[in-house]
Structure 1
């Protein structure tokens, strides 16, 4: 199977690329190499005969047509997106252009290619999205996002992803394009760009800086180890039912404060600090506008229909993640110089 992966130099996309190459699949990595992409993320597989890279922006329809015609993929995994909520608050236009218009271009290029190939039954367009499209949940632990949950996005980022989800479903219903969709919970793990919460906490701690927590730290997220997510996505592209959506969760709900204190304890163990416990560096800062209170996924469908469930516990995954950052300073150090990294964004 040859899979065209958009955003394959990003955090989740690169995990998919590395996993797919390990499984002897052919990969065409399509990435614009924007600020959050890093070609080093796929350096370990770049010499594989099963790997090809195309420096292409999904907003460029003509370039997408050339990639489809030149590589003739059997399937598409569409991960390319602007994904940082704080940046979407400060500059929503990039999110509209990439997440909505870019997805439109992908759908039209894929449809043209699929039709030109005679509408092969085996073709798949897999759209990867987020649980943030569903809005926010209450504190009731019985309340979870399912595939039937109504959409209620609260940020420019989640609104743009919700729009892209609707486009994908419309192209299936109107044109018959064979699609599958997935909505995932918060990812973490190796190669996570250092502007998101977990890498910010790890890297700030190593430099003795404040560990910022929005509001009172009570916001809850369901954390999914990125390599588990990659495994789930490859399961869906192979076995998911056409027209079906699958929620992918880590079954690991934690408040932001619980998450940060866990990271501090792991760091205390792996890299003790002369100035005392890392927890002393925790600082509560003004919350961001429209901050959703809780996300949590019901993964029953993907578990029952496709036999997938996460394999990495939050404790194991966080320890592996901290150790990876300790071992890979040459990867994250240059990224700290990129635009906006290390600054407070999304204040409205």
Structure 2
């Protein structure tokens, strides 16, 4: 499927467009010639961070997802279009911060999603697809009572797919699961063509340095020690450009009312991921041999950490042909290169100083 030709001049509305994944998606949509409308959070400065270089090629709407009026003011501009695709990526997306800011997390991720969905109905917008971005965190750990409901690979590892039971273990995961269900509620009640996408552990340039990859890389760039929390969990690490292509494929070819999950299709312990990043950075000359240190205060609260995430993306592959293209080592190189070249964009945001 030629993504470029199918997005050319296509009206799209992207929430969270100035964020990590949203900025990469917006950049790709502009490159493909789509008619891009973005919804970004209004700030006193009005500054864009990640899509400033695109501001002359997109239509910018400022507001707050938690404010229904500002959502309506932005989306009313879509009444003149038909077959608009909505990519809903805006969220408070950090697991740890969801415990520090639980009310903001619920307001943004749940009420914000509700405001968007209800506005589509209230304005009777002609929407081709409404893609709500979920998260692999919604699966959580395997509940002993649900073990027989899961699928397993040949090594006995839990293989997570669209059919797997969910068991959210953080405020963030619960809020995203609620957003998924709201999207399906509005499909069932109003025929709104919603789909939900669960990406597995995206990483890459522009990501908030408080996520695991940025935490590792920024410390290694600045000092000889990398302080981390629990290193035993295993994650399915998917490079951001692959994640963006997943969103685009689902938006064009996904079936309304259905869930699509995708990731790299292999997982790695956080200790091995740390060692891989440090090895690649050392090979590229960014640092020598930083020491890895675990600290109790960097662990997630209580039993809220998820032990293992591994995706089975067969459904998306069979329906659209999507599969990951960027290897871990290649993705690591691109990511480290960005952090090394853009210190001013992350230095004031790290949580290890």
Give the TM-score of the pair, scaled to structure 2: 0.87
Which residue in the other structure is 1:6 paired with?
A: 15
Spell out the pairing of 1:1-348 with structure 2 (5 A cutoff).
1-32=10-41, 39-48=48-57, 51-72=58-79, 74-113=84-123, 115=124, 117=125, 120=126, 123-137=128-142, 141-208=156-223, 210-215=225-230, 217-271=231-285, 273=287, 276-278=288-290, 281-286=291-296, 287-289=299-301, 290-333=304-347, 336=348, 338=349, 341-343=350-352
Unaligned runs of 5+ in 2: 1-9
Q: 2 CA distance for matches of 1:34 and 1:213? A: 32
2:224–2:289 CA contact under 8 A, matched in 1:
no
> What is the CA distance between 1:47 and its match in structure 2?
1.9
Counterpart Cα distance in 2 of 1:251 and 1:97: 32
3-state SS in 2 of match to 1:297: coil
Measured after TM superposition, the shift of residue 202 of structure 1 is 0.9
Could you tell me how far 1:329 is from its partner in structure 2?
2.4
Find the residue that maps to 1:250 and give its secondary structure.
coil
How many residues align? The count is 326
RMSD, matched Cα:
2.1
CA contact (8 A) 1:99 1:160 kept: yes
Q: Say which SS state the counterpart of residue 40 (structure 1) adopts.
A: coil
Report the CA distance between 1:250 and its aligned residue. Answer: 1.5
User: Matched residue of 1:125: which SS?
Assistant: strand
How many angstroms does 1:45 deviate by? Answer: 2.0
Moved more, 225-234 or 37-46: 37-46
Structure 1, gaps ≥5 residues long: none
- Contact 1:20–1:234 (8 Å) recurs in 2: no
Q: Which has the higher contact order (CA 8 A, sep 6+)?
A: 1
Q: CA deviation at 1:101?
A: 0.8
Q: Deviations over 1:239-293 (max 9, x none)?
A: 11111111011224111000101111112122354xx512xx2111222221110
Q: Give TM-score scaled by structure 1 length.
A: 0.88
Query: The residue matched to 2:54 in structure 1 has which SS?
Result: coil
Change (3 A) 1:272 1:13: closer
